[in-house]
Amino acid sequence: MRDMSFAAVMERRNETMKEAVGIDYDEFTRGRLAFAYEDMMEKVGYTLDEIRAIQKEADVGSTPLWELKNLTKLARIMAPPGKGARIFIKDEAANPSGSFKARRASVSVYRAQQQGYKGVVCATSGNYGAAVASQAARRNMKCIVVQEVFDSKGDGQPEILEKGRKCEAYGAEVLQLSVGPELFYTFLRVLEETGFFNASLYTPFGIAGVETLGYEVATEMKEREGRFPDTVLITHAGGGNLTGTARGLQKAGARDTEITGVSVDLTGLHSASDHDFNRKSFTTGHTGYGVPFTTWPDRADVPRNAARPLRYMDRYLTVKQGQVFYATEALAQLEGLERGPAGNTSLAAALTLAGEMDQDQILVVQETEYTGAGKHPTAQLTFAREKGIEVRRGDPREEQPGQNIIIPRGTDDLFYREMDLDKLRRSYLKALQRNHSAPYSDEEVEFLTRELKVDSEHLEKLLQQVQEG
């Protein structure tokens, strides 16, 4: 009998992960801190064409790319003369489970089946769990979803409960837990006890599955408009959406397309806090995940996270919760598309950013997600009021996460805030230096320049700033 105490299970986590993913991450280690990222990504063992074939077999991908003509007109109303880029949106809600995460799940579940696993396990707030459950059902495999749902009072956000219902609808066994360290512990126990495949969000399989999304955006736009998009906006949480999409754009040849991450500003709310957990209205796409996974991606459930957002991000913007509700209503009422909040996070920023770009430029919001009772603004705002959060119209710049949600009165109230990428890079280096102090070898410097998307001179400047405090 194995010791299944918290301490013992956590101590075995690397061994458990190796058995459940089938990757020996040690083979990619290069010295103290560097690792061979591209070699690890090639470990997927599938070319882009092979992944497209896997997804086609499962009816994943090849989703519509819509031009939002009415929202483009709206953006131009508040833009200076000659400004107001054309806004397009990739309708990922058309995937079997209703989100882009079907792309991640399709490759992971296929891999699990090919390697002889009897089932798959994932830890998620919901959209990814639904995607894994959907793909497991299509391949007649068992699926267990470990879901963080409740605070200590037993209250669950309507969006998370909706996602849990969707997972169960696809036949998955859903283990619903309260917020805290028990999620990862329970996840590890399930992997040990079942011997199932770890369909992690952060394996090379999952990230490679998203590359088809970026590839489709680039190739479809080139075919329709004769050129690649100028900017692609990507809702940013754990980094896989941004990383995979950016890699797919590059593989299609769209290397000059600007990669812009967007998150909901939930500054001050801690995602793992029992008090804060239900004082936010979005379960993903917010800074509670976006910032930590940018500044230290290897906090994931695998030894080396394949999602590395700083390698690809050109800009990082934040918007307020109220703006996302506004964008959700605008998309529904002006374009006839009712979609959930995740993709609409990027759309909220797009309404402002488009007004700063020339009218002949192209901006793409690269995802939508399905909507449902728990994802609807009415359910989310009602829950917020029940938690004592003020909901009103006004200037969203005055919004304080966990205290109020301020819905814009009109387009004049829309805005975004630019995150300082160098500040995030310095945070990455500070986290790194807790275990690996400078000076760094030539190999380590090369690794860091790629990790942070800077040249060696810029890296030296950042390191100097970190040392000076």
- pLDDT at position 44 is 78
Burial (CB count within 10 angstroms: exposed 0-12, middle 13-18, buried 19+), residue 78: middle
- For residue 26, what are the contacts with CB-CB under 8 A and spacing of at least 6? none
Tens of pLDDT, residues 384-400? 999 999 999 999 999 99
DSSP 273-308: -TTTGGG-S-SSSBHHHHHHHHH-GGGSSSSS-S--
- pLDDT of 1 > 80? The answer is no
- pLDDT of 126 > 80? The answer is no
- pLDDT of 212 > 90? The answer is yes
372-378 contact pairs (CB < 8 A, 24+):
372/162, 372/166, 372/340, 373/158, 373/162, 374/157, 374/158, 374/159, 374/160, 374/161, 374/162, 374/163, 374/165, 375/158, 375/159, 375/162, 375/340, 375/341, 377/325, 377/328, 377/329
Cα gap 177→346, rounded to integer Å: 29
Measured CA distances, 172 to 77, 135, 136 (Å): 47, 11, 9
- pLDDT of 251 > 90? The answer is yes
Closest to 164 (Cα-Cα) out of 148, 179, 140: 148
Amino acid at 275: H
- pLDDT of 49 > 80? The answer is yes
* Residue 170 Cα to chain centre, angstroms: 22
The answer to whether the predicted template modeling score (pTM) of the entire model surpasses 0.85 is yes
Tens of pLDDT, residues 185-201? 999 999 999 999 999 98
Task: Retrieve residue 138's tokens.
Answer: 């299509």
- pLDDT at position 2 is 87
Amino acid at 399: E
Q: Which residue has the tokens 């940018």?
A: 294
Q: Containing H/E element for 101?
A: helix 101-114
- pLDDT of 305 > 80? The answer is yes
Task: Retrieve residue 291's tokens.
Answer: 């910032």
Please, are residues 339 and 328 in contact by the beta-carbon 8 Å criterion?
Answer: yes
User: Per-residue confidence at 9, pLDDT binned at 50, 70, 90?
Assistant: very high
Amino acid at 108: S
Domain spans of the chain?
A: 1-419, 422-468
- pLDDT at position 434 is 87
| Mean pLDDT over each residue of the chain, to the nearest integer | 94
Domain at 1-419, CATH from 3.30.230.10, 3.65.10.10, 3.40.50.1100, 2.60.40.3880:
3.40.50.1100
Name the least confident of 41-55, 65-79, 453-467. Answer: 41-55
- pLDDT at position 111 is 96
Gyration radius of the chain's alpha carbons: 21
More reliable by pLDDT, 48 or 284: 48
Cα gap 358→347, rounded to integer Å: 18
